[in-house]
């Protein structure tokens, strides 16, 4: 078990220490109720009241909150970031002993780097390359000529299709599918025929892919996920999409084919993004938004109705349904009174994508 003195943590992460430097820290915990011997943090102003009640041995704080805290503290410019880095020291899940389970199947010409682990039931096909220090969990499948970068970790049941490439330090959660066939179909009088999906998926360094997330291979060109992208669980990324560096996408988002998303974007849960669109850099898309047109200007965008009491929601829906009749009445009154739209005004039109 890892045990570190508070002074060691302060020195390692260049933090200001307030209190007893000899306090022993053996792990991390939530601020409330907190636990003796463990470290917690407070980065949300709404949780400040909990500082007086926490039982934690020490707390990571910003300078403003530390002024009113009487306990042991590590003061950081960004408490959440500092806490995340400290917490990684106590995460023993990432450790493993190199080797290969007897039930793993590895092609004779696959290249396996030093200090890797290949778990039970894993299949590594011909021509695949596994970088040094990589963990391949049980029942993972690494397809023909695929490549996994050094220091990566693929948990159980991850599928990486032929010719797909993951960069260094990839983190892939259980059930993720990388390089599945894109949804390419051509319609004939007799029905649908499949359009071959001949591209691959190219993923940069330091990318995280959540459980049961699916990234389709490109039709002709590749689907590309750039460095530092963070993908939550149960996301669908269709063929030929490109996700810019350091963009974060929350769970249950669906992105249709050939859409490009810029760098440092934040996309809320359950958002839907149409195909062949361009989303610029530094754009925030709120949860449950439906994006049907390209967005170029940085800023926050949303759609859909925030939650409200059911009775109010029913009234609002009723008003929306009455809008066409209300508009028709207004136009009839305008015609009767011979009121013309003023300069710069146009008649209200239904959006094409409504």
Nearest alpha-carbon partner for 176 in 147, 204, 137: 137
Q: In angstroms, rounded to a whole number, what is the distance separating the alpha carbons of residues 209 and 132?
A: 20
Q: What are phi and psi of 11, to 5 degrees?
A: -70, -45
Strand 129-130, strand 111-112: pairing: parallel
Q: In angstroms, rounded to a whole number, what is the distance separating the alpha carbons of residues 56 and 62?
A: 16
Catalytic residue among 101, 239, 246, 276: 239
Contact partners, residue 191, CB within 8 Å, separation at least 6: none
Catalytic: 101? no
Q: In angstroms, rounded to a whole number, what is the distance separating the alpha carbons of residues 299 and 72?
A: 39
Letter string b/e over residues 262-300, b meaning 16 or more CB atoms within 10 A of that residue's CB = bbebebbbbbbbbeebebbeebbbbbbbebeeebeeeee
Cα 190 → chain centroid: 40
For the annotated catalytic residues, the residue numbers are: 239
């Amino acid at each position: 078990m890892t045990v570190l003195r508070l002074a060691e943590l302060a020195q390692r992460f260049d933090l200001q220490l307030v209190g007893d430097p000899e306090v022993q820290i053996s792990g991390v915990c939530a601020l409330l109720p907190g636990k003796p011997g463990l470290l917690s943090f407070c980065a949300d102003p709404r949780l400040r009241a909990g500082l007086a009640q926490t039982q934690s041995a020490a707390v990571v704080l910003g300078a403003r909150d530390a002024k009113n805290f009487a306990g042991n503290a590590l003061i950081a410019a960004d408490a959440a970031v500092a806490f995340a880095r400290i917490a990684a020291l106590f995460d023993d899940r990432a450790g493993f002993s190199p080797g290969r389970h007897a039930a793993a199947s590895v092609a004779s010409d696959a290249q396996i780097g030093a200090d890797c682990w290949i778990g039970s039931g894993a299949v590594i096909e011909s021509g695949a390359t596994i970088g040094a220090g990589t963990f391949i969990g049980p029942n993972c499948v690494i397809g023909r000529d695929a490549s996994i970068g050094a220091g990566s970790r693929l948990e159980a049941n991850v599928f990486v299709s032929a010719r797909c490439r993951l960069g260094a330090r990839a983190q892939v959660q259980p059930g993720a599918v990388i390089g599945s066939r894109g949804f390419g179909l051509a319609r004939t009088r007799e029905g649908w025929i499949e359009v071959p999906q001949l591209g691959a998926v190219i993923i940069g360094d330091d990318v995280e892919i959540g459980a049961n997330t699916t990234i389709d291979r490109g039709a002709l060109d590749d689907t590309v996920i750039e460095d530092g992208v963070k993908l939550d669980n149960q996301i669908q990324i269709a063929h030929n999409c490109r996700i810019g560096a350091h963009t974060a996408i929350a769970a249950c988002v669906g992105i249709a084919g050939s859409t490009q998303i810029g760098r440092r974007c934040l996309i809320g849960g359950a958002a839907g993004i149409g195909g062949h669109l361009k989303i610029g850099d530094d754009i925030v898309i709120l949860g449950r938004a439906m994006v049907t047109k390209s967005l170029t200007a940085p800023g926050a965008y949303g759609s859909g109705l925030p939650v409200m009491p059911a009775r109010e929601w029913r009234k609002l829906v009723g008003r929306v349904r009455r809008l066409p009749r209300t508009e028709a009445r207004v136009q009839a009154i305008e015609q009767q009174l011979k009121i013309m739209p003023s300069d710069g005004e146009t008649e209200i039109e239904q959006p094409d994508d409504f």
